[in-house]
Amino acid sequence: MNVLFFGITKDIVGSSEISFSDEFKPLNVAELKKQLIESYPEFSKLNSLAVAVNSEYADDSVPLIGNEEIAVIPPVSGG
Amino acid sequence: MKKVIEIVDVIDTAEVYTELSDAKSGDICVFVGAVREFTNNEEVVALEFETYKTMALKEMEKIADSALEKWSLNKVVMRHAVGEKGVEKPVVIVGASSAHRDACFEACRYLIDTLKETVPIWKKEKFKNKSVWISAHP
């Protein structure tokens, strides 16, 4: 399972993409956020942390199978 | 074409009138966002924009569609720039045309306000000695 990172989350992780092995694969969006905050405590300091699944905002309850396009969306600041 | 939705390297502000004008529109309203030289008395060298393009285009489509539903509009333009932009350079342009001005004024405000809330685009302010991702931290 691959996860894409943008903006400040890309800087925190040090990469624009991370692979999760099957052993550590989160089962839903909430679990992904929890794992990220555990691995990168700086994530908890952000104003917000959203996740997109197949380029749509996804609630915490959305399940993750592994073949989706998953992206971490830090606070947006366009315009 | 009713909608123009784009993410581009450089915005040409002169294009928008042709894109929005048509025989049925008596009124055209356009908003342009540009790079400001100072933030809290600190001199900004440039802004750098990054996007999750496939999702950003989808979200911009949703905003344009909902504006077309809410108001009686003839045409809508939403265009955002990415990459590094110097002071005074345009970074975003949104606009709408309609028979009468209330619709395009209100729609234009809605287009830019909603873009800032939901579209996955990120802005880094570059100062002389540091750079900061905007809105990332409280």
- Domain assignment present for residue A20? The answer is yes
- Domain assignment present for residue B137? The answer is no
- Domain assignment present for residue B107? The answer is yes
Q: Looking at the 3D structure of chain B, how many domains does it have?
A: 1
**Residue type, position B56, single letter:** A
For A4-42, the pLDDT digits (tens) are 999 999 999 999 999 999 888 999 999 999 999 999 999
Give the other-Cβ count within 10 Å of B81's Cβ: 24
- Domain assignment present for residue B52? The answer is yes
For B124, the 3-state DSSP assignment is strand
pTM (two decimals):
0.96
The residue range of the domain holding B38 is 3-132
Measured distance CA(B85)–CA(A60) in Å, rounded: 35
Give B122's contacts in chain A (Cβ within 8 Å): 6-8, 74, 76-78
Give B54's contacts in chain A (Cβ within 8 Å): 55
* Confidence (pLDDT) at A28: 97
Which chain A residue's Cα is nearest to B91?
A79
**B21: CATH:** 3.90.1170.40
- Domain assignment present for residue B10? The answer is yes
For B58-117, the pLDDT digits (tens) are 999 999 999 999 999 999 999 999 999 999 999 999 999 999 999 999 999 999 999 999
Q: Which of residues 36-75 of A touch B (CB under 8 A)?
A: 45-47, 52, 55-57, 71, 73-75
Q: Looking at the 3D structure of chain A, how many domains does it have?
A: 1
- Domain assignment present for residue B99? The answer is yes
For A38-54, the pLDDT digits (tens) are 999 999 999 999 999 99
- Domain assignment present for residue A79? The answer is no
**A35: CATH:** 3.10.20.30
Measured distance CA(B8)–CA(A7) in Å, rounded: 18
- Domain assignment present for residue B124? The answer is yes
Which of B48, B49, B52 should one mutate to test binding to chain A, selecting the residue with the greatest count of A CBs within 10 A? B52
Predicted-assembly ipTM surpassing the 0.90 threshold: yes
How far B34 CA sits from the closest chain A CA (Å)? Answer: 8
The residue range of the domain holding A64 is 2-73
pLDDT of residue B1 exceeding 80, the answer is: no
**Alpha helices (H) in A14-75, listed in sequence order:** 29-39
- Which among B58, B117, B133 has the least Cβ separation from residue A7? B133
- Domain assignment present for residue B76? The answer is yes
Give the other-Cβ count within 10 Å of A47's Cβ: 12
- Domain assignment present for residue B56? The answer is yes
